[in-house]
């Protein structure tokens, strides 16, 4: 289980990997942890503290836009450094792909404007 907490005075996420358990969620709630990520059966899910308990949410509220399934695909590696390297490479390749698409779109738009003149 990975718990993420943001206090009012510190916007740095705090992470804690544990073997988990339902009682841990009670402890995290008392500590003010607003979001917990649970790793179970090679799946990573986000759980936000809503009302009086944690509920699974479709997307992390602390890190909106992060693809938890994609991240989970990199986590089950022999070492943490290998998992980090793989996830970083995945993010960089996705970023490069977006840049290429944006560049092609801009080039296409310039060609369209040039052909009208």
- Report, as an integer, the average pLDDT of 97-111: 59
Identify which of 54, 7, 50 has the alpha carbon closest to the alpha carbon of residue 27. Answer: 54
Residue 58 confidence (pLDDT): 92
Structure tokens at 71: 């991240």
Q: Residue 3: enclosing H or E segment and its boundaries?
A: strand 2-4
Distance from C-alpha of 13 to C-alpha of 96, rounded to nearest angstrom: 27
Q: What is the pTM of this model?
A: 0.62
CB atoms within 10 A of CB 77: 14
Q: Which residues contact 56 (CB under 8 A, 6 or more apart)?
A: 45, 46, 47
Q: What is the mean pLDDT of residues 107-112?
A: 55
- % the chain with pLDDT above 90: 6
Structure tokens at 35: 């979001």
Per-residue confidence band for 7, with pLDDT thresholds at 50, 70 and 90: very low
Q: Using 50, 70 and 90 to split pLDDT, how confident is the model at 57?
A: very high
């Amino acid at each position: 289980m990975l718990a993420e907490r943001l206090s009012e005075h510190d916007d740095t996420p705090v992470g804690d990997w544990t073997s988990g358990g339902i009682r841990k969620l009670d402890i995290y709630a008392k500590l003010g942890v607003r979001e917990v990520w649970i790793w179970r059966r090679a799946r990573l899910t986000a759980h936000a503290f809503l009302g009086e308990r944690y509920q699974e949410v479709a997307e992390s509220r602390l890190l909106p836009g992060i693809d938890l399934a994609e991240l989970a695909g990199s986590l089950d590696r022999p070492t943490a450094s290998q998992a980090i390297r793989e996830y970083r490479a995945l993010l960089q390749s996705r970023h490069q792909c977006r840049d290429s698409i944006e560049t092609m779109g801009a080039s296409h738009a310039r060609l369209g404007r040039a052909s009208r003149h």
